[in-house]
Structure 1
Amino acid sequence: MKQVAIVSGKGGTGKTSIIASLAALAQGRAVFADCDVDAPDLHLILCPEILERREFYGIKRAFIDKEKCIQCGICQDACRFGAIADFEVKTPLCEGCGVCQLVCPEEAVEMRDVQAGEAYISQTRFGPLVHAELYPGEEASGKLVAMVREMARDLAAEKNLDLILIDGSPGIGCPVIASLTGVDLA
């Protein structure tokens, strides 16, 4: 199976337009993967019908059990992200490090999985599309890209297709590395 990624260090350079054009040329001979999970837009061009949705869980976040909490303030003092105020975790600020859980003498802090996005398997007029969306402010975009890539490989194997065309993330960070890992051509 061949995997081809279209990437660029900058957004707005035409990566999605190139993949959409290649999709039209491939006509049912490839799986398309939109790995720009922070700002996906291949679906806007290919107008897919969503066939399957999968929840994505990124990092664990802290939650304080008010019944167990004795309001000692140790967790607030230990949180270097300022995510705990008034003995409550401010979810957008929590980085999921778990220090608050570690230092709590009453075991009142629990780390829980929080849904951070969704991944989709869809059908377009040109073939199958795997795409995803990371919720605003969420972390772990590289993990979500890895999930999209794995779903695309599984779908290609299931449909007996030997080509995956990847619309990569812009920039140089984790989602780009996850978009490029193991590709045959970029």
Structure 2
Amino acid sequence: MAKNAVMADCDVDTPNLHLLLRPKIMETHAFYGMDKAKIDLERCNECYNCQNSCNFDAIDEHLIVNQHKCEGCGVCEYVCENDAIKMVTKISGNVFRSATNHGTMVHAELGIGEEVSGKLVSAVKERSRSIALENENDLLITDSPPGTGCPVLATITGAHLALIVTEPSLSGMHDLERVLQVTEHFEIPAIVCINKYDINENNSRTIEAFCHERNIEVAGKLPYYPSTNLAMMEETTIIEYSQNVLSEGIKALWGRVVSELDKEEEATALNEMMI
């Protein structure tokens, strides 16, 4: 539905946008996370200062560094008597630029056991912004990870609008309140969509009342519908899969998103929204 847009999948821990958009990877860029310790055993005098100083038990009795436990703090390098330890830059994942039937997509893959997802999200956003400006795209759509942790903060930074998708469950209501606190703190306009509103209409009404009290628009209420799973099995979007009450609701929701973006009077020509 979006025209002239770049899409960024910022859920780097568990990316899933590729399941629907079937991207063809055009570029791959190595992502370097935090440095890791490396011990030169030929220079090492086996003083064991490094092992005794490591708070993460990342160095074993053979003075081998466990790369999954190492937090890159550098204390081992600092206490080494023989200059046998260096902090080495390590590849922690990859950033991809891909072509899809809906436009350019930027996504990433974080390595197993890596803990720099917030930094990788920033790399995805930096690359997607660069592409959008280079190609004169009008819109950058970022798919955010759930929650309110570092990856979410990295995702919403610089956004002109946040579309917060919640569900009428206790956990969904709790997370909605937390995410709204984040968007309010960063002064990012936000609107809300209640997904599967009909599985608990009492809770949906509670969400609507909560948003009304805070002057937050509930831009859409989407019903539970079997076509969601069926579309995923066919590796396509709901809009492309079939015309039904859910797909029509999504189209109406997108209309509200476009309307909200049009209200924003930003100096830049590039609008960015976070979902």
TM beyond 0.5: yes
1:155 aligned residue: 131
1:126 aligned residue: 102
Q: CA deviation at 1:183?
A: 0.2
Q: How does 1:39-118 map to 2 (within 5 A)?
A: 39-85=14-60, 86-118=62-94
1:13 aligned residue: none
Q: d(CA) in 2 for partners of 1:73 and 1:147?
A: 37
- 1:30 partner letter: A
The structure with the greater share of residues assigned to strand is 1
1:95-136: per-residue Cα shift (whole Å, max 9, x none)? 000000000000100100110000000000010000001111
2:159 match: secondary structure: coil
Matched, 1:174 2:150: yes
Structure having the higher Rg: 2
Instruction: Select 1:139's aligned residue among 111, 115, 118.
Output: 115
- 1:73 partner letter: Y
Q: Mind listing any 5+ residue stretches in structure 1 that lack a counterpart?
A: 1-24
1:124-152: per-residue Cα shift (whole Å, max 9, x none)? 00100000011111021111101111111
1:63-118: per-residue Cα shift (whole Å, max 9, x none)? 10010011111100000000001211111100000000000000100100110000
1:16 aligned residue: none
- 1:161 partner letter: N
- 1:129 partner letter: M
Q: Mind listing any 5+ residue stretches in structure 2 that lack a counterpart?
A: 163-275
Q: d(CA) in 1 for partners of 2:64 and 2:112?
A: 21
Q: d(CA) in 1 for partners of 2:94 and 2:145?
A: 17
TM-score, scaled to structure 2: 0.58
2:45 match: secondary structure: coil
Higher relative contact order structure (alpha carbons within 8 Å, sequence separation ≥ 6): 1
Q: Quick one: percent identity of the two aligned structures? A: 50
The structure with the greater share of residues assigned to helix is 2
TM-score, scaled to structure 1: 0.85
- 1:102 partner letter: Y
1:24-44: per-residue Cα shift (whole Å, max 9, x none)? x125x1000000000101011
Matched, 1:36 2:36: no
* Structure 1 residue runs of 4 or more that deviate by more than 6 Å after TM superposition: none
Q: CA deviation at 1:162?
A: 1.3
Q: d(CA) in 1 for partners of 2:33 and 2:145?
A: 18
Q: CA deviation at 1:159?
A: 1.2
